[in-house]
C-alpha cells in the first residue's frame, strides 16, 4: 500500500561519490534534500581501489574542492598515503593521488551527510519515478513511500541491473554483494530513457600476512605533503607504504590457457568494458608483446590486513585467479579474502542530456556519475556536484552552471559525454583537454573559486583568503617583471654556479626566472626585496612566469574557442529543414541540440562544411530578426 511520505525540493537516488556531492551541494544551496541508498553501508563506497586522484583525476578533485564540493576534504581527512604524480614532467600534468582508508572514507562522508542541514539520508530502493506533463513529480520506494519532489538526480553507479561474473558463476548483485536496482531500470525504460550495457571489474583482495613484501619494490609517499583541498593543512600524518610487483611469462601462460573459461571471452558478458582500465586477461591478449605488467599492492585501510592488487582485475574463475596471482613475486603463498570479479550494469546514453546534466525530454530529471557512462570515483563526484548545483539553480529559476572546456576538466568531461556520447566507460585523461596548460591542478582555485563563491558554496572566510592569495601572486609577478638586476660580480657568480650564462647588461628578475636552470627559490640569493609568500603562492608565481609564452599561446586559442562558443544555437532549430547539411549532420544535430556553433563542431559526424552551413544559417536568421 502506497502512502505520501513527504515533500522535498530535490531527491538524489544513490549515495555513491556522485550522489554524495549532489546531495551536499543541493542542501548547502538551501534545497530541502533527500538522498537514498540501497544500503547505508554503501554510502561513498570504494568497491574498486580505495584511492582518490591520479593522473588528470587529481585535477577533477581540486576543481570539485574549489567549487565547494566535499571529495577533497574527505580524502584529506582519511588518506593513508599521498604523492604528486608526473613531477618529472611539466606542471600541466602534475596530479595528486592518495590512498584512502576505505572504511574511514565511507564513515566520514556518511557522517558529513548526516550532519548537513537541509539533508535527510535514507536506506531504501527507489522503484518508480513519476512524471506528469513532461516534468518529474514524485519518487516511490519499494516499501510504498511516495515523496513529492521538484527535481530528481539519478546517481545509481553500477547498481542498475547489476550482475557479477566470476568464471561461469553469475549473480544479480551490485558491488560488494549489495543487491542491485532492477526495478528502476524498468522504470527508466518506461519513461523512454535508452539504456546501454557497460561493465567494469575489480581485482582480488589479499591477506597481508600471506604476502612476502621483500620480493617487491617499495612505493613511498611524498615527504612534502600537499593536500587536495586548498582549504586544508595536514600535520602529523604517517604515510603507509605501497608495493610494486610484476606479472611474468608463467602468469600470462595460465591466463591464455584459461581464456575459454573467461565470461569476457566466452560471450557471457554483453557490456562494454573500459578501454583504459582493462582486466589482466584483456591486457595479456591485447598487449601480447609485453613480457610483464605492473601490479601495485596497496593497503585497504589502517584497521584491516586486506591488500588491493591494482592491475589484476579479472572475471576468470576463482581457481584460475589463485593460480595466476601466485606466479607473481611476493604472492607465491597469497591467500584471497575476496576474489576478483566483473560487474555488468545499465547506463544511459549521455548524449540525451543537456550540458547542465538535465535529461532533455523530462524536466527536472538529472543524471550523474557512472549512470552517465563514465568510470571512476572522481568523474562521478564532479558530475554529482554539477547536477546538485543545477537542480538547485533550476528550482530557484536561475540559469544553470555550464563550465566550458577552457574553465576546467569538469567542463571537458561533461562536454565530451554530452556532445559525443560514449560507447565505453569514459575515463578522464589529461590528453582530452586541449588547454591543459591553463587547466593545471595548482591554479584550480584561481579558475573556479569565484564561481563557487558566486553560487554560494564557498564560505566568505575562504573567499577572502583566495582574494589575498590572488593579489599576492599578481603583485609579485609584476614586481619580478619590473625589478632589474645589474651584472654585478655577485649576480654573475650566482648565475655561473647555476650553470647559466652571466649578464653583460641589466636583466629583469622575471627573465632570469625563465631560465631552466633557475628556480624562484634560487633567486633569494640576489633578490633582497622579495615579500613573504606561501608555498602555493611561490609555486604559482614561478609557473606563470616560466611558462608565460606557452600560456599566452593557449590564451589566444581560447579567444578563438570563445568566439565559436558565443555563437548560440537555440533549441527550437529544425536541422532537418536546413539545406546544405549532410544527412548525418541533420540527425546528429537534431539529437544533441547543441547550445553553440562551438559545441556543434565537436559532434562526431558534423563536418567543417556543415559548420559553414550553420554559420550562414545564423547570419540569415539574424538579418531576419
DSSP letter string, 475-508? HHHHHHHH-EE---HHHHHHHHHTTSPPPSS-EE
- Which triple of cell numbers denotes residue 374? 563514465
Q: Is residue 462 part of a domain?
A: no
Q: Check whether residue 32 and residue 128 sit in a common domain.
A: yes
Query: Is residue 371 a part of any domain in this protein?
Result: yes
141 in the same domain as 209: no
pLDDT of residue 273: 75
* pLDDT over 90 (residue 393): yes
96 touches 441 (CB < 8 A)? yes
Count, in order, helices (H) and strands (E) of the chain: 20, 22
162 and 232 housed in the same domain: no
What Rg value do the Cα atoms of the chain yield, rounded? 26
* Residue 190: count of CB within 10 angstroms of its CB: 11
- Residues 229 and 323 occupy one common structural domain: yes
pLDDT range class, residue 278, cuts 50, 70, 90: confident
- Report the distance separating Cα 6 and Cα 2, nearest Å: 12
Asked whether residue 110 carries a pLDDT value surpassing 90, the answer given is yes
pLDDT at 545: 97
pLDDT of 359 reads: 98
Domain that holds residue 14: 3-201+345-455
CATH number of the domain bearing residue 106: 3.50.50.60
Three-state DSSP class for 343?
strand
For residue 311, the model assigns a pLDDT of 95
- Residue 494 in any domain: the answer is yes
In order of 71, 157, 307, 339, the CA distances from 11 in angstroms are 20, 16, 36, 35
What end-to-end distance do the CA atoms of the chain give, in Å? 56
How far, in Å, CA of 404 to CA of 262, rounded? 42
Residues 435 and 335 placed together within one structural domain of the fold = no
Q: What is the pLDDT of residue 274?
A: 74
Query: Residue 264 — very low, low, confident or very high, per pLDDT cuts 50/70/90?
Result: confident
Examine the pLDDT at 300 and tell me if it is beyond 90: yes
For the chain, give the percent of residues with pLDDT over 90. Answer: 92
Q: Residue 556 domain-assigned?
A: no
Exposure of 233 by Cβ count < 10 A (0-12 exposed, 13-18 middle, 19+ buried)? exposed
* pLDDT range class, residue 275, cuts 50, 70, 90: confident
Residue 233 — very low, low, confident or very high, per pLDDT cuts 50/70/90? confident
CATH number at residue 579: 1.10.150.570
Digit-coded pLDDT (tens) for 30-46: 999 999 999 999 999 99
CATH number at residue 334: 2.40.30.260
Cell 543487491 maps to which residue?
Answer: 179
Whether 300 and 102 have beta carbons less than 8 Å apart is answered as: yes
Q: Residue 366: helix, strand or coil by DSSP?
A: strand
pLDDT top residue among 333 and 274:
333
Domain at 527, CATH number: 1.10.10.1800
Helix segments in 298-437, DSSP class H? 318-325, 377-395, 409-420
Query: Do both 574 and 528 map to the same domain?
Result: no
Q: Which one of 341, 374, 394 terminates a domain?
A: 341
Residue at which a domain ends, from 551, 584, 600: 551
Give the end of a domain, one of 341, 359, 377.
Answer: 341
Q: What is the mean pLDDT of residues 221-236?
A: 89
- On whether both 83 and 52 belong to a single domain, the answer is yes
pTM of the complete model:
0.95
Name the β-bridge partners of 359: 353
Q: Is residue 275 part of a domain?
A: yes
Looking at the chain, the whole-number percentage of residues with pLDDT higher than 70 is 100
What does the mean pLDDT of the chain come to?
95
Q: Are residues 9 and 108 in the same domain?
A: yes
Any domain includes 425: yes
Say if residue 321 is in the same domain as residue 357.
no
Q: Say whether both 319 and 209 belong to one domain.
A: yes
pLDDT attached to residue 625: 64
Please enumerate, as own/partner, the contacts of 134-139 that have beta carbons within 8 Å and a separation of 24 or more: 134/361, 134/362, 134/363, 135/362, 135/363, 135/364, 136/362, 136/363, 136/364, 136/365, 139/11, 139/13
Q: Please give the average per-residue pLDDT across 16-23, as a whole number.
A: 98
Tell me, yes or no, whether 33 and 162 share the same domain: yes
Whether 67 and 124 map to the same domain: the answer is yes
DSSP 182-213: HHHHHHHHHTTPPEEEEEEEE--EEEGGG--G
Overall number of domains in the chain? 4
CA distance 267 to 260: 10
Assigned domain for 535 exists:
yes
Q: What is the pLDDT of residue 421?
A: 93
Contact between residue 586 and residue 592 where contact means Cβ atoms under 8 Å apart: no
Sorting pLDDT into bands at 50, 70 and 90, what band is 267? confident
Taking the C-alpha atoms of residue 297 and residue 99, their distance in angstroms, rounded to an integer, is 11
- The answer to whether residue 465 sits within a structural domain is no
Measure the CA dihedral 272/274/278/283, to 10°. 70
235 pLDDT tier (thresholds 50, 70, 90): confident
Amino acid at each position: 500500500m502506497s502512502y505520501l511520505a513527504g515533500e522535498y525540493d530535490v531527491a538524489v537516488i544513490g549515495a555513491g561519490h556522485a550522489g554524495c556531492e549532489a546531495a551536499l551541494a543541493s542542501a548547502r544551496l538551501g534545497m530541502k534534500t533527500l538522498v537514498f541508498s540501497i544500503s547505508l553501508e554503501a554510502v561513498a563506497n570504494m568497491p574498486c581501489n580505495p584511492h582518490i586522484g591520479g593522473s588528470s583525476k587529481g585535477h577533477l578533485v581540486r576543481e570539485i574542492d574549489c567549487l565547494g564540493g566535499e571529495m577533497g576534504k574527505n580524502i584529506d581527512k582519511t588518506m593513508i598515503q599521498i604523492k604528486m604524480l608526473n613531477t618529472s614532467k611539466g606542471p600541466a600534468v602534475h596530479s595528486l593521488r592518495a590512498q584512502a582508508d576505505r572504511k574511514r572514507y565511507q564513515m566520514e562522508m556518511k557522517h558529513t551527510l548526516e550532519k548537513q542541514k537541509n539533508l535527510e539520508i535514507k536506506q531504501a530502493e527507489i522503484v518508480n519515478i513519476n512524471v506528469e506533463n513532461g516534468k518529474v513529480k514524485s519518487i516511490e520506494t519499494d516499501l510504498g513511500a511516495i515523496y513529492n519532489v521538484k527535481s530528481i538526480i539519478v546517481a545509481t553507479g553500477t547498481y542498475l541491473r547489476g550482475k557479477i561474473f566470476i568464471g561461469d558463476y553469475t549473480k544479480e548483485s551490485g558491488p560488494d554483494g549489495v543487491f542491485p536496482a532492477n526495478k528502476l531500470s524498468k522504470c527508466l525504460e518506461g519513461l523512454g530513457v535508452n539504456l546501454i550495457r557497460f561493465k567494469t571489474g575489480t581485482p582480488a583482495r589479499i591477506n597481508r600476512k600471506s604476502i612476502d613484501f621483500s620480493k617487491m619494490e617499495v612505493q613511498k609517499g611524498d615527504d612534502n605533503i600537499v593536500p587536495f583541498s586548498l582549504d586544508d593543512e595536514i600535520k602529523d600524518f604517517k604515510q603507509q607504504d605501497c608495493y610494486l610487483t610484476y606479472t611474468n611469462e608463467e602468469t600470462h601462460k595460465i591466463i591464455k590457457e584459461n581464456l575459454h573459461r573467461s565470461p569476457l571471452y566466452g560471450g557471457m558478458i554483453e557490456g562494454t568494458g573500459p578501454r583504459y582500465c582493462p582486466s589482466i586477461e584483456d591486457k595479456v591478449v591485447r598487449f601480447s608483446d609485453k613480457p610483464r605488467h605492473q601490479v601495485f599492492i596497496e593497503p585497504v585501510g589502517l584497521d584491516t590486513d586486506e591488500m588491493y592488487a591494482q592491475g589484476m582485475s579479472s572475471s576468470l574463475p576463482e581457481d584460475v585467479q589463485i593460480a595466476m596471482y601466485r606466479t607473481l613475486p611476493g604472492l607465491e603463498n597469497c591467500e584471497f579474502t575476496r576474489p576478483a570479479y566483473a560487474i555488468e550494469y545499465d547506463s544511459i546514453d549521455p548524449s540525451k542530456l543537456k550540458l547542465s546534466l538535465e535529461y532533455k525530454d523530462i524536466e527536472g530529471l538529472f543524471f550523474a556519475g557512472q549512470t552517465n557512462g563514465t568510470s571512476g570515483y572522481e568523474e562521478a563526484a564532479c558530475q554529482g556536484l554539477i547536477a546538485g548545483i543545477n537542480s538547485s539553480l533550476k528550482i530557484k529559476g536561475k540559469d544553470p552552471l555550464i563550465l566550458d572546456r577552457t574553465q576546467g576538466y569538469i567542463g571537458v568531461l561533461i562536454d565530451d559525454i554530452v556532445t559525443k556520447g560514449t560507447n565505453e566507460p569514459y575515463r578522464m585523461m589529461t590528453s582530452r583537454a586541449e588547454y591543459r596548460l591553463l587547466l593545471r591542478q595548482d591554479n584550480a582555485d584561481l579558475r573556479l573559486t569565484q564561481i563557487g563563491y558566486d553560487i554560494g558554496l564557498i564560505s566568505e572566510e575562504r573567499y577572502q583568503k583566495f582574494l589575498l592569495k590572488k593579489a599576492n601572486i599578481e603583485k609579485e609577478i609584476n614586481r619580478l617583471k619590473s625589478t632589474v638586476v645589474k651584472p654585478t660580480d655577485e649576480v654573475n657568480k650566482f648565475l655561473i654556479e647555476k650553470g647559466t650564462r652571466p649578464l653583460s647588461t641589466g636583466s629583469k628578475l622575471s627573465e632570469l626566472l625563465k631560465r631552466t636552470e633557475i628556480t624562484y627559490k634560487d633567486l633569494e640569493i640576489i633578490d633582497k626585496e622579495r615579500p613573504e609568500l606561501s608555498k602555493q603562492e611561490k609555486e604559482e608565481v614561478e609557473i606563470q612566469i616560466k611558462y608565460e609564452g606557452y600560456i599566452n599561446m593557449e590564451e589566444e586559442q581560447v579567444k578563438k574557442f570563445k568566439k565559436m562558443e558565443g555563437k548560440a544555437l537555440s533549441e527550437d532549430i529544425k536541422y532537418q529543414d536546413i539545406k546544405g547539411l549532410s544527412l548525418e549532420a541533420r540527425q546528429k544535430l537534431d539529437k544533441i541540440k547543441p547550445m553553440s556553433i562551438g559545441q556543434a563542431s565537436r559532434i562526431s559526424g558534423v563536418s567543417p562544411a556543415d559548420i559553414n552551413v550553420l554559420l550562414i544559417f545564423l547570419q540569415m536568421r539574424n538579418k531576419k530578426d
